[in-house]
Structure 1
Amino acid sequence: MLKSAVCVALAAASAALFAADGPTVKTDKGKVQGAVSTDGLIRIFKGIPYAAPPIGLLRWTPPQPAAKWHGTKEATGFGSRCMQLPVYDDMVFRDPGISEDCLTLNVWTPAKDKKAKLPVMVWIYGGGFAGGTTSEPRQDGENLAHKGVIVVSMNYRLGIFGFFVHPELTAESPHHASGNYGLMDQTAALRWVHQNIKNFGGDPNNVTLFGESAGSFSVSAQMASPLAQGLFVRAIGESGGAFSTTLPFGSREEREQSDQEAVGKSLGTTKLADLRAMTSAQIIKAAMPQADGSRVRFGPDVDGYFLPESVPAIYAAGKQAHLPLIAGWNADEGGIPQKTLTVAEFHETAQKDFGDQADKFVSAYGVTTDDEALAAAKDYAGARFIAYSTWKWLDAHVATGGQPVYRYHFELPSPGDKFHTAGTTFHSDDIEYVFGNLDSRQGMVVRPEDRKMSEIMQTYWTNFAKTGDPNGGELPKWPTYNPAGNWQVMHLAIPPEARPDTQRARYEFLQQAWQKAGQ
């Protein structure tokens, strides 16, 4: 008994000693104490509240200021991930679990004091606005911070908790808006960075916003929103933009009706007071698969406040943030549809999807052989899923953004892992390369070329964060993407190489055809 008590006392003393040795930084709400990386070069702060818990009457409201605290808050563990259902098998979490009390962020900084004025990279995770969190090992910021940047990541509300649209919410809003609470969470985190990052050694006037998939959609939307103007000066989008024909941001009016119908069917009431009185476990049932296998999607809308107009309309009018942009996508975004495909079968797809424009579609894709048909089908699948929306974002910003734009195509085939087939460059494949976290991927045997590609991408990304230009050192030259330069694309293979875009006709055809169809 005595021995046990001594062990407990020693453990407590050890914990106290470790805490006393942790780096401490003052924020606008109070002091936080973090930890130091194993090599002693990175100071790490996790789970810092950047907004009040969105619970009770704050459910489905814009993020409110976090409360101040007394003393020093421990910041050595990730905060809870926001409410979500299991969405993706390959997501691994290192947090306490799901909770509505989830609006926290993390900081990885190589700065030793607040005089460093290092560039800051703020990351937005993907997951279809339905899943994800900052605690995933693949997007841990420690390795990227070794490149001389501060990395920040935030949790933001997801699914019905982050994007529910309801006429009663619209009526109670001083802006006559509802929805987009998850996007406003992201903006609140950016505002926190602007107010606090100097004390972590960062430069609040040199912030790059970057994200993947839904995170990339979010970056394009943050550029469009008047609420985020001036909070970041550069942007990187990896696979996705808010210009999608398959994942559009619907109007608030449309969503008020569809969201009410969805919750009424699954929860038995549409009254806001009833919905706010329910537990989070009850509310999340609205996002569960229905008996027919369908699943309701709660995503961003054109709410009239965060987004006064649609994202394409804002860019067309040149009202988006005018800042340098890197964006691109992966070679196999749509997966590998099949192993063989004939020209005749490709024509059947064209006829089904484009009717009397089928021949123009086939011509735009340059299909004359079965091998070309298979390659074109793969590219078309990726375009429908996410590549077209990224291309349209790039094109729109080139037209009205007034700042350098850089486009990439990630092409290094994966060696395969627990969840993905070898030989593909699949959706989300780029994350571990950008963060330098290849060893976190389950079942992946990392090759020398993977290490090299990770080094290349980290250097391009952090060069851009530092100067607004990805070029520097011995890296292959990455030209800007514009008509004057023949639409140069950086092909991220081994070795990387910039070449003029040879596939522009495909995307111009899709733009014309889908706009004509009202998509």
Structure 2
Amino acid sequence: MTASAQQKDSFPVQAKIEHGVIEGLYDTRSGLQLYLGIPFAKPPIGDLRWKAPQPLEPWKDVLKTKAFGPRPVQAVVFGDMNSRSNGVSEDCLYLNVWTPAKRNTSGLPVLVYFFGGGFVAGDGSEPRYDGASMAKKGIVVVTVNYRLNIFGFFAHPELSKESPYKASGNYGLLDQHASLVWVQKNIAAFGGDSKKVTIAGESAGSIAVSAQMASPLSRNLISGAIGESGAGINPTLAPVPLIEAEKIGSEFAKNAGYPTLAQLRALSTREIYEIYNESKRFGFPSVIDGYFYPKTIPEIFKAKEQAQVPLLLGWNSAEIPGGAFMQGLPYSEENYIKKVKEVYPNHADEVLKLYPHGSPREIEVSATALASDRFIAYSTWKWFDLHRKNSSQPVYRYLYSKLRPPLVDQNKVPGLAGGTVDKQDAPKMPEPVGAPHACEIEYCMGNLDLVKEYAWTKDDYAVSETMQNYFANFIIRGNPNGDNLPNWPAAEPNDASPPVMILDVISKAVDAKDDARYLFLDKAYKNN
């Protein structure tokens, strides 16, 4: 729903926050207050391009916060992400608040949700992240914009030299950190409790949650964490050493014909956008900068230096198609064995036992599992394993398994990370063998009705209600269990087959049966 659609049932409402008074909307239909497009740092433009977010100046007049701020500069990377934001701009550091608070309400739990999109795309206004449904459960919901791609993760020796902490990159992660500082200082104005802040996200947003949990800057600002498919652990967008990131940035700048920082800062948004897109790069890596990231995530967790908070996390049953592993080859035994031997020349027999190959269907299921594990499931498992072994806090694990319903428009096919693309523009995809990447977001946030592309069924609404209630319970009290929900046990530190909540039409906790796959990949990726 756009702000203009909401205004017909709304009256203006004001809140006093650290830098001045803002004016949002009190929606009489939902009983919620909405404050959209609240600035939380100075616009990162001009000399502030590629700098850590800077504190805002106070404003004198009432600031209108009734429409989503601009989204971070990005190309259309993943189908159609259905942004509701007001344009695209480097001036993108805005957040949105939905609150059920009445005039005397205080102490409400808070959810801060970071969007996904590979750190190259996405924004906090997408309908699937809308906070209204979760706010109706008694939670103050915040969605946050952060810088992306070259604007959010570019490192360069000259940038490191000018920085007070002598490093560069990680601007998108530092934006998220700045939003958490903003929440600490301001959330009471919306009825929220700064001591009850759960951070959540999917894909890059989940990687961001693992990063904020690990960072000494953010770890004391949160009381809980939810990760949906992704952690910043090799091979999934793990941070690289600063010297490596600076080398990537220097070479990029030199190849573009603008080797110095002064030349780069003098370029327009359009010029940087086009230079970056022409390079065909998929973003820039995050950085072990000695500031946001002192070490790798596994090193931080093994030292028990992460946020010691309850963690709920999981992944989907078919994150990406098996074709990503088969690289276009048909699912025959010969092709599958050949690919496994290419990728794991010294361990092919072990891999073929863990991901078996008795029939074309079994090969497809195994190739899908192997592709998904290598893409994002293993890194999420590793995060799970590190926290349960290096924290006394409860850790809850799920496997989201509900297949998507058909699309309303039969001329479209699902996009990789949300939205849809025209059928004739997309390669023919096989029938899914499980739940694909990103498909659970609108279920857990209670937003099926805002995502118009799918022909949702009664079963979809039932799964959404279950998943959203688990998430809401966890945000409210650090434990997903509650009335009329199947019991979800926490994982013990050394349980070889820990409980996994299968989220489907009938949800139930089962003992993990595939963790041998992750133990093998742990050795292969040298994270153990």
- Fold-level similarity (TM above 0.5): yes
Write the distance in 2 (CA, Å) between the matches of 1:327 and 1:387.
11
- Does the aligned pair in 2 maintain the 1:90–1:419 contact within 8 Å? no
**Cα distance, 1:459–1:20 mapped onto 2, change above 3 Å:** closer
Match of 1:277 in 2: 266
Amino acid at match of 1:176: K
Q: Which residue of the partner structure matches residue 448 of structure 1?
A: 458
Alignment-mate amino acid for residue 499 of structure 2: Q
Moved >6 Å (runs of 4+): 17-20
Q: Deviations over 1:332-356 (max 9, x none)?
A: 1112538973333322222111112
Q: Which residue of 1 aligns with 2:413?
A: 419
- Superposition pairs for residues 304-323 of structure 1, below 5 Å? 304-323=290-309
Q: CA deviation at 1:285?
A: 2.4
Partner of residue 185, structure 2: 195
Q: Secondary structure at the match of 1:22?
A: strand
Deviations, residues 300-338 of structure 1 (Å, cap 9, x unaligned): 111111001112211121111111101111111112538
TM-aligned CA distance change 1:144 to 1:133, over 3 Å: same
- Contact 2:23 / 2:65 at 8 angstroms: preserved in 1? yes
Q: 1:298 aligns with which of 278, 281, 284?
A: 284
Question: 1:124: Cα distance to partner?
Answer: 0.1
Instruction: Deviation per CA, 1:394-425: give whole Å up to 9, x if none.
Output: 11111212211011000000013343277551
CA displacement, residues 157-202 of structure 1 (integer Å, 9 cap, x when unaligned): 1111111101011111121111101101001101111111111001
Q: Which of 122, 128, 136 is equivalent to 1:146?
A: 136
Q: Aligned partners of 1:20, 1:107: CA distance in 2, in Å? A: 16
Q: Which residue of 2 aligns with 1:404?
A: 394
Conserved? CA contact 1:287–1:296, under 8 Å: no
Is it true that 1:346 corresponds to 2:336 in the alignment? yes
Report the 3-state secondary structure (helix = DSSP H, G, I; strand = E; otherwise coil) of the residue aligned with 1:439.
helix
* 1:255 correspondence with 2:245: yes
Would you say the 8 A contact 1:170–1:178 is kept in 2?
A: yes
Structure 1 residue aligned with 2:73, among 73, 83, 94?
83
Work out the CA distance in 2 between the residues paired with 1:362 and 1:19.
59
Q: Residue 329 of structure 2 contacts residue 335 of structure 2 at CA under 8 Å; is this kept in 1? A: no
- How far 1:286 moved relative to its partner? 3.2
Distance 1:269 1:161 in 2: 15
Cα shift readout 1:252-277 (whole Å, capped 9, x = no counterpart): 100111111112212x1121111111
Distance 1:431 1:246, change over 3 A: closer
**Secondary structure of the equivalent of 2:467?**
helix
Residues 453-505 of structure 1, C-alpha deviations (whole Å, 9 max, x = no match): 11111100010011100001010000112334831100001110101110011
Identity of aligned residues (%): 42
Gaps of 5+ in 1: 1-13
Deviations 1:5-34 (A, max 9, x none): xxxxxxxxx99x989931211100111111
Partner of 2:507: 496
C-alpha distance in 2, partners of 1:485/1:467? Answer: 27
Q: Which moved more, 1:422-431 or 1:274-283?
A: 422-431
Aligned-residue offset at 1:295 = 2.2
1:355: which partner in 2?
A: 345
Q: 1:509 aligns with which of 513, 520, 523?
A: 520
Partner secondary structure for residue 419 of structure 1: strand
Residue aligned with 2:91, SS = coil
Q: Distance in 2 between matches of 1:48 and 1:299?
A: 28
The aligned counterpart of 1:8 is: none
Counterpart of 2:208 in structure 1: which amino acid?
S
Asked if the contact 2:128/2:448 (under 8 Å) is kept, the reply is yes
Does 2:275 correspond to 1:286?
Answer: yes
Match of 1:236 among 196, 209, 226: 226
Contact 1:244 1:388 in 2 (8 A): no
| Deviation, structure 1 residue 513 | 2.0
Q: Residue 392 of structure 1 corresponds to which residue in structure 2?
A: 382
SS class of match (1:47): strand
Which letter maps to 1:503? D
- Contact 1:114/1:199, CA 8 A, preserved across alignment: no
Aligned AA (1:108): W
Indicate the residue corresponding to 1:325 in structure 2: 311
Residue 171 in 1 paired to residue 181 in 2? no
CA 1:24 to 1:246, structure 2 compared with 1: closer, same or farther past 3 Å?
closer
2:413 corresponds to which letter in structure 1? F
TM (norm. structure 1) is 0.92
Q: Equivalents in 2 of 1:285, 1:187: separation in Å?
A: 28
SS of residue in 1 equivalent to 2:370:
helix
Contact 1:42/1:108 (8 A) holds in 2: yes
Structure 1 Cα separation of the partners of residues 406 and 278 of structure 2: 30
Change in 2 beyond 3 A, CA 1:427/1:19: closer
Partner residue in 2 for 1:458: 468
- Could you list the per-position Cα deviations for residues 352-406 of structure 1 after superposition, in whole angstroms to 9, with x for gaps in the alignment? 1111210011122344444332211110011111111111111111121221101
Structure 2: gaps spanning 5 or more residues: 415-428
Structure 1 pair 260–197 and aligned structure 2 pair: CA distance change class (3 A): same
Q: 1:380–1:51: structure 2 CA closer, same or farther, 3 Å change rule? A: same
Shift of 1:39: 1.5
Greater fraction of residues in helix: 1
1:190-229 superposed matches below 5 A:
190-229=180-219
Q: 1:19 & 1:278 partners in 2: Cα distance? A: 44
Task: State the Cα RMSD in Å.
Answer: 2.2
1:261 to 1:406, Cα distance in 2 relative to 1, 3 A: same
Residue type at the aligned position of 2:301? Y
Q: Which residue number corresponds to residue 10 of structure 1? A: none
Q: Write the distance in 2 (CA, Å) between the matches of 1:371 and 1:509.
A: 23
Distance in structure 1 (CA, Å) of the matches to 2:348 and 2:236: 20
Counterpart CA distance in 2 for 1:356 and 1:501 is 27
- Structure 2 counterpart of 1:271, which letter? T
The DSSP-based 3-state class of the residue aligned with 2:59 is coil
* TM-score of the pair, normalised by structure 2: 0.90
